[in-house]
Structure 1
């Protein structure tokens, strides 16, 4: 059966409200589109007045299969503790102290970008051509598409354990899928993200070096800021160019295997 990539972007008065995507079979296509439209109309940031839906056929031979990053949750007590943890993990990625402080400050300032900042961690130059759009990591989904979870953001059955509940959390599923793809990109050493959803305060830092670490209390309830930074180091493998990295992030079609490992 044919597969299709679906991308949704919703905005209100030209400001980004919501974006989501999935790769689904033809039989699930209609339901997936309906779910994504509902999301654009009921987002915590507001009701979209413009919704763009893009549907493309995906050939199976185009797909690249990768493993998900393993998952850890850090129960920080407040924002100060959370950002100290982020700083220490940037150091683990061999980023010097001065640059790590700059990256944290930049991360705190991001708001209303449709994509991510692509940052050279050595010279601290932003590499995305359009600073509002940013770099958009697209064309990815879990092997067993979780599109049916997109309208069940906060519904979890009481008798599930905490890891099973996480697997029913839309924010987590989408973020793990995206970060697993991003951290497999050439010369990307890690990613930092905080959701712009006012009701979701858990962010993450991710790398193939230490996995996907969920960090609580990245912001306060009600804050609408949020964004992501892709950490780029061109010295890791000189055979890959910046264009190779961007092409992978934006065009390579990736399926993340379903075997999520919690540590």
Structure 2
């Protein structure tokens, strides 16, 4: 069976004169069979036209045929829910999960305490790294072994694409944050050299975020920012001792993935 990759991106122009820039409004992608293409495309356009961030000036829908033999099927990461009282507590817990995962990854292959300073520096730097992602369209690719950013374009970042839930037939124009996030997180966790992912949504009406990795699973933290806050970002934490950045980016941006999310 042949499938089709559908991608939608919507944006609007903000600012005046030299300060004029493109602001992301909405994005979505699916992998569907031929019979679903028209309905899903229409749902994507409705989603762009009714987004809480405002009316788009530009909507792009891309339709691309892909072959079943090019698709890899992955089992969804196991899910853990973490309830918190405040967004500050949520961020603190998220930072804690990530710092432990990074320190475990660095020390696991170190012959001595050569990474001790890096671990301490990373823990202090993580909140600032998150803030740096707020204006980016994609994710930061951060090498935990060298403390360097590896995105070819620091303004655009790296985007994980070509993915969907296995057997998904949903055409509702409303965004399902959880379903889309578990699919993306599962693909990212399986990328070469990937250590963990840290994500806060940029949707002002959605305050839940997550951290994820093969070891952690998908840890859903129910409050990671204030309601109405349009800031959000994503960091892919990568280990250059395990794979090259080019190999990781190639997988994230080109490998076709369907995720078995179960019932």
TM-score, normalised on structure 2?
A: 0.87
Partner of 1:8: 8
- Residue-pair matches, total: 240
Q: Is the 8 A contact 2:88 2:225 kept in 1?
A: no
Structure 2 counterpart SS, 1:93 = helix
Structure 2 counterpart SS, 1:94 = helix
State the Cα distance separating 1:86 from its structure 2 match: 1.6
State the Cα distance separating 1:201 from its structure 2 match: 0.3
State the Cα distance separating 1:58 from its structure 2 match: 0.8
Partner of 2:193: 187
Which of these residues, 54, 57, 74, is aligned with residue 49 of structure 1?
Answer: 57
Q: Is the 8 A contact 2:76 2:183 kept in 1?
A: yes
Partner of 1:166: none
Which of these residues, 223, 230, 247, is aligned with residue 224 of structure 1?
Answer: 230
Could you tell me which runs of 5 or more consecutive residues in structure 2 were left unpaired when the two chains were aligned: 14-21, 104-118
Once residues 146 and 215 of structure 1 are traced to their aligned partners in structure 2, the CA distance between those partners, rounded to angstroms, is: 27
Q: Is the 8 A contact 1:140 1:253 kept in 2?
A: yes
Which of these residues, 242, 245, 249, is aligned with residue 248 of structure 2?
Answer: 245
Which of these residues, 127, 146, 163, is aligned with residue 123 of structure 1?
Answer: 146
Q: Is the 8 A contact 1:5 1:55 kept in 2?
A: yes
Once residues 53 and 170 of structure 2 are traced to their aligned partners in structure 1, the CA distance between those partners, rounded to angstroms, is: 21
Give per-residue Cα distances to partners, 1:139-165, cap 9 Å, x unaligned.
00011125424x244xxxxxxxxxxxx
After TM superposition, where is structure 1 displaced by more than 4 Å over at least 4 residues in a row? Answer: none
Structure 2 residue 199 is matched with structure 1 residue 198: no
Once residues 146 and 188 of structure 1 are traced to their aligned partners in structure 2, the CA distance between those partners, rounded to angstroms, is: 30
Structure 1 counterpart SS, 2:25 = strand
Partner of 1:24: 32
Once residues 234 and 259 of structure 2 are traced to their aligned partners in structure 1, the CA distance between those partners, rounded to angstroms, is: 20
Partner of 2:77: 69
Alpha carbon RMSD of aligned pairs, Å? 1.4
Structure possessing the higher radius of gyration over alpha carbons: 2
Q: Is the 8 A contact 2:193 2:240 kept in 1?
A: yes
State the Cα distance separating 1:109 from its structure 2 match: 4.1
Once residues 79 and 105 of structure 1 are traced to their aligned partners in structure 2, the CA distance between those partners, rounded to angstroms, is: 17
Could you tell me which runs of 5 or more consecutive residues in structure 1 were left unpaired when the two chains were aligned: 154-169
State the Cα distance separating 1:206 from its structure 2 match: 0.5
TM-score, normalised on structure 1?
A: 0.87
Structure 2 counterpart SS, 1:136 = coil
Partner of 1:86: 94
Structure 2 counterpart SS, 1:64 = strand
* Alignment CA distance shift 1:125-1:182 (3 Å): same
